[in-house]
Structure 1
């Protein structure tokens, strides 16, 4: 993933939508959309519908944590999603995650995000993401423009979108979509979806990547159980998008967990926390050892600071 210049970018719900379970899930999603149209009149019913659906997704996760990862590949688009229960109260999420500065901090933790600049003065708030290979200098990074939109915020529901119309290598229609609702005992349920469309240049770059260094890389969805009893994880672009949406999700959680850390110590705390979180899944997410990751991000942070207006 990380050594491919487009591989960090790619997302969705699980494949196989023709099954009865997925038809039921689609009907529940449609019901929720209709309920939202009547918000707040039907907010309690909508929240319960969503809690039931998301809770069921989390419950069937094969992971040791309450996280379920899925993906879907179509001809010219890819998507990946995370359903999760987080140990954070819903109150305050909108204030924190409605900030473009917070999202810059979250996305910067990804090894391939070399810098992120933001402008809170625009409406909607804008950010510029610099994306490149692990070993590449900032001057060689590709730039991606994103806009932050808080599309719904209330006592029981939060929806935030990060959108970009054009990206490098023929990619387009970027969307990082977060939804959250309160759960019992000070927890929250969250749904994070990452999607994009791509053209011929991105297709060629991905084909070359998977023919070479990315051949053995896998995601989180279990396609089958082998004769040895071990799970067989999805690969290819679906594996890639699952790795990336999981990285974004873990970065978001680490950001929330380190808000109380004093500002001078916050970067180090977030970098260490992010490495520890991703290293729980070494098969999918291990790119560097801890010392190399920390050194890389400190160099990138210094270069990012040099980009900021004086």
Structure 2
């Protein structure tokens, strides 16, 4: 073979291989940069919070929609979080702790991803008198460094729609995890008028966690729709924590322990979350849980 001769096609093949490797490496670096940015941004949000624990609450209200979020650092490994909330059954165990959730049912034989949620007042009531909310659990992303899952429904309670409860998580240092729980919904004129009546009377003094300037220029806790969404996203977040803390117990122990733990966690924020005393809450939830175990609707 003459010196200087190169086999036809070898140089373009090498070039394309180098380009392919560069594209793959760029994708990995881009994903890593995005994960680092998300982790750093959540850390900043939590660090700027006035809470005594690694926790931050925020909300946004528009003319016909509202959303609230909790960012927090949890002392649980990322892999354990992904396992704890990976099934509709687990989400039912979480959601039923909320004082306004009257029942949560899942039938894997009918639909593996579907939940039937019933929402009502802060006392025991028949499910026929509660509002039904059909939800689906959608796993958006599940990997070693990022988790995202969403519970969503087209029609919500009391004339609301586009109900969405989104959980996102990334691993943090020292075996901990950073999480974001976001709750959002859209409401029409009927729900808007009903909520306006509620805020004018029974809910006029109810507040949330974040602050806004008052008429005198001093910061005050948000009220109205923002206050409502912040209270509820916090209740759902505390239900996640209570579920994590009690999930390894036997079923009989877990039911009682999760109820007691959820109520104790809400008592850290009495100004925002206290609506019922402990004895009444436990009695109501025990009856609801008994109905739940029977599978009664």
Q: TM-score, normalised by structure 1?
A: 0.83
| Superposition map of 1:82-97 within 5 A | 82-97=70-85
Q: What CA distance in whole angstroms lies between the structure 1 residues aligned with 2:284 and 2:244?
A: 22
Does the 8 Å CA contact 1:117/1:308 hold for their aligned counterparts? no
Q: What CA distance in whole angstroms lies between the structure 1 residues aligned with 2:66 and 2:112?
A: 25
Per the alignment, in what secondary structure is the counterpart of residue 42 of structure 1? helix
- Structure 2 runs not aligned, ≥5 long: 1-25
Quote how far apart the aligned CAs of 1:134 are: 1.8
- The partner residue of 1:171 within 160, 173, 176 is 160
Find the counterpart in structure 1 of residue 197 from structure 2: 208
Find the counterpart in structure 2 of residue 272 from structure 1: 260
Alignment CA distance shift 1:295-1:244 (3 Å): same
**1:146 has 2:135 as partner:** yes
Greater relative CO (CA pairs within 8 A, separation 6+): 1
Q: What CA distance in whole angstroms lies between the structure 2 residues aligned with 1:119 and 1:302?
A: 17
Report Cα offsets for 1:21-43 as digits up to 9, x if no partner: xxxxxxxxxxxxxxxxx865533
- Structure 1 runs not aligned, ≥5 long: 1-37
Larger Rg: 2
Alignment CA distance shift 1:129-1:223 (3 Å): same
Q: TM-score, normalised by structure 2?
A: 0.86
Alignment CA distance shift 1:305-1:263 (3 Å): closer
Alignment CA distance shift 1:40-1:298 (3 Å): farther
- The partner residue of 1:295 within 260, 280, 283 is 283
**1:184 has 2:166 as partner:** no
Find the counterpart in structure 1 of residue 148 from structure 2: 159
Per the alignment, in what secondary structure is the counterpart of residue 64 of structure 1? coil
Does the 8 Å CA contact 1:81/1:193 hold for their aligned counterparts? yes
Q: What CA distance in whole angstroms lies between the structure 2 residues aligned with 1:308 and 1:183?
A: 41
Q: What CA distance in whole angstroms lies between the structure 1 residues aligned with 2:152 and 2:31?
A: 26
Per the alignment, in what secondary structure is the counterpart of residue 45 of structure 1? helix
